Amino acid sequence: MRKISSLILVAVVTTALAIATHNAFLLNDYRSTSSDQKVQVLIESGDTGYKISIKLEESEVIKAAKVFYKIALNDRRAKSIAPGVHEIDKEISSRSALEQLLDSRRILGVFGFPEGLRKSEIFELLSKSQSVTGKFSNRIYPNSIYETKQIEGFLFPAQYSFLPGTTFDQAIEQMLKRFNFAAKESKIDQGYLNFSPYELLIIASLVQSEGDPEDFSKISRVIYNRLKIGMPLQVNATIDYALNLRGDIRLPYKRLETDSKYNTYKFRGLPPGPISNPGQDALDATVNPMSGDWLYYVTVKPGDTRFTKSYEEFLGWANEFRKNERDGLFE
């Protein structure tokens, strides 16, 4: 009987403690789900959940950072909070704050562009943005580990938030900062094999320009295999970059004589710089190439890219590509 009484007492105490803990949790949180008062909160690339919770508390969005942090830890969606300036209601519950941070409509001055664009194309988009003012000063440079002052390749494709009055240089600085975070994630900033971080970025730009994400790791391997045996890379996109062209599926033979170091048919090794601004998938694939002995690849039809070591097999697939092109499969 005493044993049963003891168990009941323990259960009562445990329940009481749980209720007290829950009530204390509620006391450290607002109950409102919305408010007429707004505040702008800047979420930067690389901000941790704890740092975001501190920013929200300091901006008077939530009552206690620890409450928001606990809720965010238990909600997988919290990892999807986008960098940018978020317009959030003040004095709301932590759960409501999370919901508002996940609402892309609350991000001010949204600007984004896809993977693989060139610097000139990104600059044109920026010049049309109503939030960005001025011109590029040419005084903003990549991290010194890349040993270049050229920013082609470093303009990371993502969604940005530019407040009205953001200068061109400030916009570029945000892109470079986002790139540094992505480079650290992929570890291209540490080098790979005997390639420097900048050489790896060049390879990533080729990978980005040559195929779809599901084939990136194979394309990466082909590039390394060709470089290893001194074979010309023969990447069509490098010639298009040299001539500032876009859109041609097939490379006309006359362009093979283009007198440019970017012509990887004419000059062996890597081109002198990136030919596009690659995204995370291409960066990751560059330092994680799939195992294989392939030297050739060809997209026979949309969604069907084939890889081989055999030049004869490649020629057969190339003929299949030309037939599919004539039949309009690439239109």
Domains annotated for the chain, with CATH where assigned, are: 29-106 (3.30.1490.480), 110-186 (no CATH), 193-326 (no CATH)
pLDDT attached to residue 250: 75
* % of the chain surpassing 70 pLDDT: 92
Q: Which of 1-10, 97-106, 201-210 has the lowest mean pLDDT?
A: 1-10
192 by DSSP, 3-state: which? strand
Is residue 86 over pLDDT 50? yes
DSSP state string for 112-142: E--TT--HHHHHHHHHT-SSEES---S----
pLDDT in tens, 157-195: 998 888 889 999 999 999 999 999 999 999 999 999 999
Alpha-carbon Rg for the chain, nearest whole angstrom, is: 26
Is residue 38 over pLDDT 70? yes
Predicted TM-score (pTM) of this structure: 0.77
pLDDT level of residue 23 (50, 70, 90 thresholds): low
Q: Which H/E stretch holds residue 161? A: strand 159-161
Is residue 251 over pLDDT 90? no
